[in-house]
Structure 1
Amino acid sequence: MATTKEELLTFQWAGKDKRGKTLKGERSGRSEILVKAELRQQGITPTSVKKKPRPLFGGAGRRITPADIATFSRQLATMLTSGIPLVQSFGIISAAAENPRLKSMIDKIRIDVESGATLAEAIAKYPVYFDQLYVSLVEAGESAGVLDQVLDSIARYKERIESIKGKIKKALFYPMAVIAVAVIVTAVLLIFVIPQFEDIFQGFGADLPAFTRMVIDLSEFVRSQGWLMLIAFIGAVAGLIALKKRNKKFAHFLDRISLKIPVIGPVLEKSALARFSSTLATTFAAGVPLVDALKTVAGATGNIVYEEAVHQIRDDVAVGHQLQLAMQQTGLFPPML
């Protein structure tokens, strides 16, 4: 029975080649008939094609991460550089993929390419995993006939971005850990330790100093209203995140404030500059014109303040200004860059 256009299934097949040797394997397709046709095109006479049963647990697989896309890009670039055809490369990568979701996506891309779509058109159907920058670079590489070189540049770019993310996480881990420990210790003191001292102080029969009274009152408030405070804090954080996604002015305000936070601000600033430089270098390597490259690079900075600055740079360059002068006018880029 044929599946719908978008559904893709995994089939277990067995067959014989021209020498009569029995072969077995797995292949993704939309129906048994199509899988048999693909096997015959490869010189294999299918004797059995059955839909692979789904496992009871973990069949859906984990979500596809940016690291998965970086690995996929590197594998595809390596195979194309080695002279392996594009469709065959997808089949090899899919067979080696351990994540069912990634495997399914690669198989769908392979089928689209086999059906006559360009690689850029095929991956553009998955904007969550392949952003506009990725699609534009692939499209430029296909047009210029240097897809293998462009994919190699994309792979190096993705690997650099993942490396930058790792360094940012390491840099932010210590201050965040210190803050978390301070909050936990303070909560333990207010909830468990201060009440013990309160009983001792009450036995003195004298008036307590104002500061001591304030600490005891704070302890009582945390013990009685602590859960409400926690719920309010979580709600406030969720509200800020939602408002940032929907309100561009508020997002600009938050991102600008975050750049001024001690310790964290400089890390975020260097991250935005590193992403800007790396992305722009990758687009240049792919032969993308400067004005078009700046339009694509803006969204890769990870900070709306720098994103708007890059848009301003693009507008200045489009009317004839030098890139160095346009960057200088924003006041966000260091002279060395």
Structure 2
Amino acid sequence: MASKQLWRWHGITGDGNAQDGMLWAESRTLLLMALQQQMVTPLSLKRIAINSAQWRGDKSAEVIHQLATLLKAGLTLSEGLALLAEQHPSKQWQALLQSLAHDLEQGIAFSNALLPWSEVFPPLYQAMIRTGELTGKLDECCFELARQQKAQRQLTDKVEISVTLSHHHF
């Protein structure tokens, strides 16, 4: 994940239409190859700075919870990821969710699509998602994962407050 870079691009499609987008790529060369596969001739490329605070656990747990809600409502996994990408306020999350949706369209299992993103979705996420895929209960596994992550965050917050208060008394 550390070597992935976020790129904003503007280009012309094979049918002559202007198109804009954002893609994750490890290098400018790999970005150009990805655009070529999409039949896009790039006119401009710009690397976008990444805000690592956006990858905090509470952010990924929130995304997983929202995804679980969409799955429970009957959307497919690809549709849910695409909808979350459209509505997410963070450009880097939008690009990540679009990338995951694209991987699914290529036939990659969701749990495998998460593997390169272990900084955002740690092994526990990958294992729970894989369990959901194998059991056919992805929505339930996502809800449980989000619940567990929220409880863990609350416990961590309480411990931090307790440690802070104990330091002020001495």
- Report the residue type matching 2:146 in the other structure: A
- 2:123 paired residue among 118, 121, 132: 132
Pairs within 5 Å for 1:1-337? 9-10=7-8, 27-28=21-22, 30-31=34-35, 34=38, 54=46, 59-63=48-52, 64-179=55-170
TM-score (norm 2): 0.71
Equivalents in 2 of 1:51, 1:161: separation in Å? Answer: 46
* Structure having the larger proportion of residues in strand: 2
Distance 1:152-1:174 versus aligned 2 partners, 3 A rule: same
Q: CA deviation at 1:175?
A: 1.6
Q: Which amino acid aligns with 2:113?
A: A
Point out where structure 1 has 5 or more consecutive residues left out of the alignment.
1-5, 14-24, 37-48, 180-337
If the length of structure 1 is used for normalisation, what is the TM-score? Answer: 0.38
AA matched with 2:49: A
CA distance in 1, matches of 2:167, 2:121: 31
Q: CA deviation at 1:68?
A: 0.9
Distance 1:7 1:61 in 2: 8
CA spacing shift, 1:31–1:61, aligned 2, 3 Å:
same
Q: RMSD across aligned C-alpha pairs, in angstroms? A: 3.0
Offset from partner CA, 1:38-69 (integer Å, 9 cap, x none): xxxxxxxxxxx9778759xxx42421111111
1:10–1:86 CA distance, 2 compared to 1 (3 A):
farther
Q: Which one has a larger percent helix, Structure 1 or Structure 2?
A: 1
| Residue-by-residue CA offset, 1:307-335 (whole Å, 9 max, x unaligned) | xxxxxxxxxxxxxxxxxxxxxxxxxxxxx
AA aligned to 1:172 is V
Query: Please, which runs of 5 or more residues in structure 2 have no aligned partner?
Result: 12-18, 24-33
Which has the larger Rg?
1
CA distance in 1: counterparts of 2:129 and 2:61, whole angstroms: 14
Report the secondary structure of 1:83's partner residue.
coil
Q: What is the identity percentage for the equivalent residue pairs of Structure 1 and Structure 2?
A: 17
Q: How much does 1:95 deviate?
A: 2.3
SS for the counterpart of 1:95 is helix
Q: Residue 80 of structure 1 contacts residue 148 of structure 1 at CA under 8 Å; is this kept in 2?
A: yes
Supply the distance in 2 between the matched residues of 1:94 and 1:62 (Cα, whole angstroms): 17
Equivalent residue letter for 1:106 = L
1:196 — aligned with what? Answer: none
AA aligned opposite 1:91: A
Equivalent position SS for 1:124: helix
How many residue pairs get matched?
A: 148
For 2:98 and 2:135, how far apart are their aligned partners in 1? 25
Closer, same or farther in 2 for the Cα pair 1:90/1:27, shift >3 Å?
Answer: farther
Q: Deviations over 1:9-61 (max 9, x none)?
A: 44579xxxxxxxxxxx965454276288xxxxxxxxxxxx9778759xxx424
Preserved contact between residue 35 and residue 42 of structure 2 (Cα < 8 Å): no
Letter of the structure 2 residue corresponding to residue 31 of structure 1? L
Contact residue 77 and residue 148 of structure 1 kept, 8 A: yes
* Offset, 1:96: 2.5
Cα separation, 2, equivalents of 1:141 and 1:77: 11
Within 1, Cα distance between the matches of 2:43 and 2:81? 20
